[in-house]
């Protein structure tokens, strides 16, 4: 009778040895993870948001040395913490604040949180994207620094040049924006529109059409859902601005002809049909989010309904 070599005492001892080593590695990793989590909890700011503003988090370099090889995990923790930090501020605010204009929330810790996440994991793209979209309204220099930090760590990532160009475009530095898009366009895998954006920045820098194109690309390329949602709302806003321009021309034309402002949308219904703007069951024109515009008949003016999803500024 032939004995299978895998059933021999020596083979069984080797299998048990390998199993013991694997179990030891897993146990050590779990213990390290528990210790790391406890260490982070011991060094994080107090949960009270007012106290949080009094002191920064530990630096990313310090955390890298203390993270026991779990840099990616700790980076995720700081990334989630940055989102929670903004979320808590939103919940406490009584005003209608847009994601890309958070000046009123006094987000002193947002830049350090994002900076720490990207120091722990330099290839973690979402914090760079978030910094490019959210930080300019709070600290534009930090937004630029963190985005350039991402480019230095990921020199072949053309999307980071897109984010940098977006920051410069927001600041109306169209020359710097053009250069950023051009540098990104030269990278392998960059889409053709990056090169086109380089020229458009120099020619159409402040135009609404270019703004629409920028937000369309951000929407299509965004990896973070919050950034994607911001871009979607800005596209609604741009479409609404176009509709309002057309409606104002209609109101002005009616005023010139009738010698007074229109008292209701029904009164100018034929002109609205000619404008090809969608209307609701009452004949009122609706914004891109599906909410009726408000007619200010005393002023021959139009405005968004306060309940509309379209950003007001």
* pLDDT tens digits, one per residue of 273-297: 888 889 998 899 999 999 999 999 9
Residue 183: closest CA among 230, 208, 147: 147
Average pLDDT over residues 223-248: 93
pTM: 0.74
The Cα–Cα gap between 177 and 163 comes to 10
CA 297 vs CA 256, 269, 304: distances in Å: 14, 15, 14
Q: Which of 12-26, 216-230, 231-245 has the highest mean pLDDT?
A: 231-245
Is pLDDT at 184 greater than 90 in this prediction? yes
Taking a C-beta distance cutoff of 8 angstroms, is the pair 305, 294 a contact? yes
Average pLDDT of the chain to the nearest whole number: 81
Lowest mean pLDDT among 23-37, 72-86, 125-139, 216-230: 23-37
Q: Give backbone dihedrals phi and psi of 302, rounded to 5 degrees, phi first.
A: -135, 150
User: Is 237's pLDDT higher than 60?
Assistant: yes
Distance (Å, whole) CA 149 – CA 135 = 14
Say if residue 144's pLDDT is above 60. yes
- Residue 12 pLDDT greater than 70, yes or no: no
Inter-CA distances, 242 with 103, 125, 201, 208, 230, Å: 27, 34, 21, 9, 19
Indicate the class that CATH gives domain 26-233. mainly alpha
229 has a pLDDT exceeding 80: yes
């Amino acid at each position: 009778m032939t004995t299978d070599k895998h059933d021999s005492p020596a083979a069984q001892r080797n299998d048990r040895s390998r199993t013991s080593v694997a179990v030891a590695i897993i146990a050590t990793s779990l213990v390290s993870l528990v210790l790391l989590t406890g260490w982070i909890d011991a060094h994080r700011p107090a949960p009270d948001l007012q106290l949080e503003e009094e002191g920064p988090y530990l630096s990313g370099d310090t955390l890298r040395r203390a993270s026991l090889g779990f840099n990616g995990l700790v980076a995720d923790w700081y990334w989630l913490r940055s989102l929670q930090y903004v979320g808590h501020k939103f919940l406490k605010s009584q005003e209608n604040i847009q994601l890309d204009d958070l000046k009123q929330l006094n987000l002193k810790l947002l830049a350090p949180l994002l900076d720490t996440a990207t120091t722990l994991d330099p290839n973690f793209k979402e914090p760079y994207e978030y910094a490019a979209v959210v930080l300019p309204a709070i600290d534009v220099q930090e937004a630029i620094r963190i985005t350039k930090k991402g480019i230095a760590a990921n020199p072949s990532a053309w999307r980071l040049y897109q984010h940098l160009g977006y920051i410069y475009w927001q600041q109306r530095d169209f020359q710097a924006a053009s250069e950023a898009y051009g540098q990104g366009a030269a990278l392998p895998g960059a889409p053709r529109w990056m090169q086109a954006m380089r020229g458009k920045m120099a020619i159409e820098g402040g135009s609404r059409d270019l703004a629409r194109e920028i937000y369309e690309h951000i929407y299509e390329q965004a990896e973070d859902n919050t950034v994607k949602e911001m871009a979607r709302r800005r596209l609604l806003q741009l479409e609404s601005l176009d509709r309002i321009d057309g409606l104002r021309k209609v109101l002005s034309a009616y005023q010139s002809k009738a010698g007074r402002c229109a008292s209701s949308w029904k009164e100018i219904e034929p002109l609205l049909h000619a404008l090809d703007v969608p209307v609701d069951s009452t004949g009122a024109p609706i914004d891109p989010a599906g909410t009726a515009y408000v007619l200010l008949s005393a002023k021959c003016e139009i405005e968004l309904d306060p309940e509309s999803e379209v950003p007001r500024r």
